[in-house]
């Protein structure tokens, strides 16, 4: 944003006595002589007047560039944000208050830097109306080329002629689900009508308005109205309503795709979620009941909010035998339910009045590789969550064993005090560590409880042997799972583990 364009010599048409959203005190427009921006803003004003909404229910979101000066002329809500991001603020406003009329004014520069947001707003069909003030170059910063500069176009950054193909904004958003798409020029007498159509479309609407940048693109390219129309023709970019026009399949208010406007869809989904949860909703802004009451605390009081679905607290009701702190490391592989099984031990510890922390380590490929969980149990709240050397190490798979080798082979005897190892891994345990080893063999259990439940069975066996807490606590933790199938699997695994022999 370097310079502010100086006031034009040609005064804009005064809105006079007719109803208008334009602020007479802010007029005339400050755009360059011959620039089309003022004409588009007048057309927008006429469309807004015809729409007849309360100005408080209209928001004009402006992007950066000369177009970003537009909000000052309107007596509506306005939001002037960052370059290319205007669609994101408009989306947030629309989602917060779905009944607002939200208009985005953006240049071709903003459509370039923020192109990702255009595509995604179209894809979501969020109900904002986007007017692109497309003058084929960056006006405010001195006539650099933009994503819509025609091939061959001379700009301050393409002095030899533009080598890039211009972006077809309309085709781009149309291909990605925009409900209403139109292209026109600032010379179109029906411009107010086109803008009105875009505004009344409930979903995402984009109107690509080609115009002349008299400061840069016109002098640099001997450009004119005729050349502009010729360029459109050569590029085979048609003007008119391209998607969702009246008389087409846009009738019925949901646009060509028949999709619901996104803010409305989101609101409906939330209401359904609340219905399923049987919870009372807070009033939504824009609901038929009207605005939520707003007092000095913005109408919200945390204590008065509906409670989200939360698990019932765990009431310690078992007696732990563990005294002091204990570090348990369980090293297995993906698919063994290591993390959730250790989580059950953690909950069992809480049910036994102990304090616990659980840290997990696994690769980003969650369905392959190692899965290692570290559990600290203590009779006092756990501060440091790390384990320098575990009291108990449980080895369930070669992938996990590889991750925790340091606790088998520490030269200073600082390795794990007690090691429980699957029989199949025994030959991988160094001789020096063997005297600390208990062997467990879950292989015979696989057909009965399933391979994915053997980690929990092994942990039940370890707890039985170690006696930190009663197995009833582990069963109680498993019984708390609201999912019947998992609950049955886990209880079965614990029962099987209780009978598992340890050598």
Q: How far apart are CA 344 and CA 322, in angstroms?
A: 17
Closer by beta carbon to another protein, 185 or else 341: 341
Q: Pick the binder of another protein from 42, 45, 63, 71 (CB under 8 A).
A: 71
Q: Shortest approach of another protein to residue 351 CB, angstroms?
A: 9
Instruction: For residue 258, give both structure tokens.
Output: 């028949």
DSSP H/E element including 133? strand 128-134
Asked if residue 412 binds another protein (CB under 8 A), the reply is: no
Binder of another protein out of 6, 7, 116, 219 (CB under 8 A): 116
Residue with tokens 């208990």: 438
Q: Does 423 bind another protein (CB under 8 A)?
A: no
Length of the chain: 503
Residue ranges in 33-52 that form contacts with another protein under rule CB under 8 A:
none
Residue 290 engages another protein in binding (rule: CB under 8 A): no
Q: Which is nearer to another protein, 81 or 450 (CB)?
A: 81
Site string for another protein, 253-272 (x = CB under 8 A): -------------xx-xx--
Closest CB to another protein among residues 220, 410: 410
Burial 113-123 (b: 16+ CB within 10 A, else e): bbbebbbbbbe
The CA angle 235-238-242, to the nearest 5 degrees, is 135
Nearer to another protein, 60 or 500 (CB): 60
Asked if 8 touches another protein (CB under 8 A), the answer is no
Query: Measured from the CB of residue 451, what is the shortest distance to another protein in angstroms?
Result: 25
Q: Where are the beta strands (DSSP E) in 199-264?
A: 205-210, 240-243
Contact characters 312-351, another protein, x per CB under 8 A: xxxxx--------------------------x--xx-xx-
* Interface with another protein, residue 487, by CB under 8 A: no
Alpha-carbon distance 283 to 32, whole Å?
47
Q: Which of 10, 53, 259, 359 binds another protein (CB under 8 A)?
A: 359
Stretch that binds another protein, among 141-149, 197-205, 295-303, 440-448 (CB under 8 A): 295-303
Distance CA 339, CA 372 (A): 7
Q: Is the peptide bond before 390 cis (omega within 30 degrees of 0)?
A: no
Residue closer to another protein by CB (options 235, 266) is 266
CA atoms within 13 A on the CB side of 261: 25
Residues 118 to 177: which contact another protein by CB under 8 A?
Answer: 119-120
Strands (E) across 148-270 are located at 180-185, 205-210, 240-243
Q: Please report where in the chains the tokens 């925009």 appear, as a residue.
A: 178
Q: Among residues 236, 365, 388, 447, which is the contact residue for another protein, using CB under 8 A?
A: 388
Q: Please identify, using beta-carbon distances, which residue of 152 and 275 lies nearer to another protein.
A: 275
Tell me which stretch binds another protein (CB under 8 A): 38-46, 185-193, 220-228, 299-307: 299-307
Among 302, 367, 411, 485, binds another protein (CB under 8 A): 302
Is 406 near another protein (CB under 8 A)?
no
CB 39 → another protein: shortest distance, Å? Answer: 22
Stretch that binds another protein, among 43-51, 53-61, 129-137, 143-151 (CB under 8 A): 53-61
Q: For another protein, which residue of 234, 249, 291, 499 counts as binding (CB under 8 A)?
A: 291
Using the contact rule CB under 8 A, the part of the chain among 92-100, 161-169, 208-216, 233-241 near another protein is: 92-100
Instruction: Report helix angle 86-96 to 115-124, nearest 10.
Output: 30
Q: What are phi and psi of 160, to 5 degrees?
A: -95, 5
Backbone angles phi, psi at 328, to 5 degrees: -120, 130
Contact between residue 256 and residue 243 where contact means Cβ atoms under 8 Å apart: yes
Q: Does 3 bind another protein (CB under 8 A)?
A: no
Phi, psi of 51 (to 5 degrees): -65, -35
From the centroid of its chain, how far is CA 205? Answer: 22
Name the minimum Å distance from CB 420 to another protein. Answer: 22
Comparing CB distances to another protein, the nearer of 82 and 426 is: 82
d(CA 451, CA 497): 13
Residue 214 lies near another protein (rule: CB under 8 A): no
Pick 150 or 415: Cβ nearer another protein: 415
* The only residue of 10, 50, 53, 80 in contact with another protein, by rule CB under 8 A: 80
129 vs 120: CA distance, rounded Å: 14
**Would you say the C-alpha torsion 194, 196, 200, 203 has a positive or negative sign?**
positive
231 phi/psi in degrees, rounded to 5: -65, -45
- Closer by beta carbon to another protein, 166 or else 346: 346
CB 128 within 8 A of CB 185: no
**Residue 369 corresponds to which tokens in the numbers above?**
């590789």
Pairing type for strands 437-440 and 418-422 reads parallel
Per CB under 8 A, does 293 bind another protein? no
What is the C-alpha separation between 88 and 472, in angstroms, rounded?
Answer: 53
483 touches another protein (CB under 8 A): no
Instruction: Give 225 or 359: the residue with its C-beta nearer to another protein.
Output: 359
Choose one: 35-43, 195-203, 284-292, 394-402; the region binding another protein (CB under 8 A).
284-292
Residue 366 is a binding residue for another protein (CB under 8 A): no
6 touching another protein, by CB under 8 A: no
């Amino acid at each position: 944003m370097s310079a502010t364009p100086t006031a034009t010599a040609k005064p804009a048409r005064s809105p006079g006595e007719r109803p208008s959203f334009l602020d007479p005190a802010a007029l005339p427009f400050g755009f360059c002589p011959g620039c089309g921006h003022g004409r588009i803003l007048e057309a927008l004003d006429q469309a807004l007047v015809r729409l007849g909404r309360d100005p408080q229910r209209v928001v004009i979101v402006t992007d950066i560039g000369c177009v970003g000066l537009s909000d000052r002329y309107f007596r509506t809500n306005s939001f002037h944000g960052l370059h290319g991001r205007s669609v994101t603020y408009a989306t947030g406003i629309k989602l917060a208050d779905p009944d607002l009329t939200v208009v985005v004014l953006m240049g071709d520069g903003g459509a370039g830097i923020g192109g990702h947001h255009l595509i995604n707003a179209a894809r979501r069909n969020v109900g904002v109306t986007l007017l692109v003030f497309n003058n084929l170059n960056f006006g405010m910063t001195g006539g650099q080329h933009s994503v819509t500069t025609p091939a061959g176009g001379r700009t301050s950054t393409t002095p030899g002629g533009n080598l890039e193909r211009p972006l077809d904004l309309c085709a781009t958003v149309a291909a990605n689900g925009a409900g209403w798409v139109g292209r026109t020029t600032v010379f179109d007498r029906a411009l107010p009508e086109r803008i009105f159509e875009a505004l009344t479309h409930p979903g995402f609407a984009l109107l690509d308005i080609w115009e002349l940048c008299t400061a840069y693109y016109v002098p640099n390219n001997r450009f004119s109205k005729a050349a502009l129309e010729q360029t459109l023709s050569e590029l085979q970019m048609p003007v008119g309503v391209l998607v969702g026009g009246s008389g087409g399949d846009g009738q019925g208010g949901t646009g060509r795709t028949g999709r619901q406007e996104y803010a409305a869809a989101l609101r409906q989904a939330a209401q359904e979620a609340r219905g399923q949860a049987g919870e009372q909703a807070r009033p939504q802004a824009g609901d038929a009941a009207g605005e939520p009451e707003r007092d000095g605390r913005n109408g919200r009081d945390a204590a008065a909010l509906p409670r989200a679905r939360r698990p019932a607290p765990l009431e310690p009701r078992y007696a732990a035998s563990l005294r002091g702190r204990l570090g348990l490391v369980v090293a297995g592989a993906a698919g063994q339910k290591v993390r959730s099984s250790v989580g059950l031990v953690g909950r069992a510890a809480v049910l036994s009045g102990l304090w616990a922390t659980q840290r997990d380590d696994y690769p980003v490929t969650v369905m392959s590789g190692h899965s290692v969980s570290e559990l600290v149990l203590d009779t006092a709240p756990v501060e440091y969550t790390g384990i320098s050397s575990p009291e108990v190490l449980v080895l369930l798979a070669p992938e996990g064993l590889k991750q925790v080798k340091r606790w088998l082979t520490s030269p200073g005897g600082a390795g794990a005090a007690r090691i429980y190892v699957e029989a199949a891994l025994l030959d991988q345990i160094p001789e020096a560590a063997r005297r600390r080893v208990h062997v467990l063999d879950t292989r015979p259990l696989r057909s009965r409880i399933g391979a994915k439940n053997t980690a929990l069975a092994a942990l039940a066996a370890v707890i039985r042997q170690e006696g930190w807490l009663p197995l009833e606590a582990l069963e109680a933790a498993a019984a708390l799972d609201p999912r019947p199938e998992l609950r049955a699997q886990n209880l079965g695994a614990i029962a099987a583990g209780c009978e598992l022999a340890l050598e």
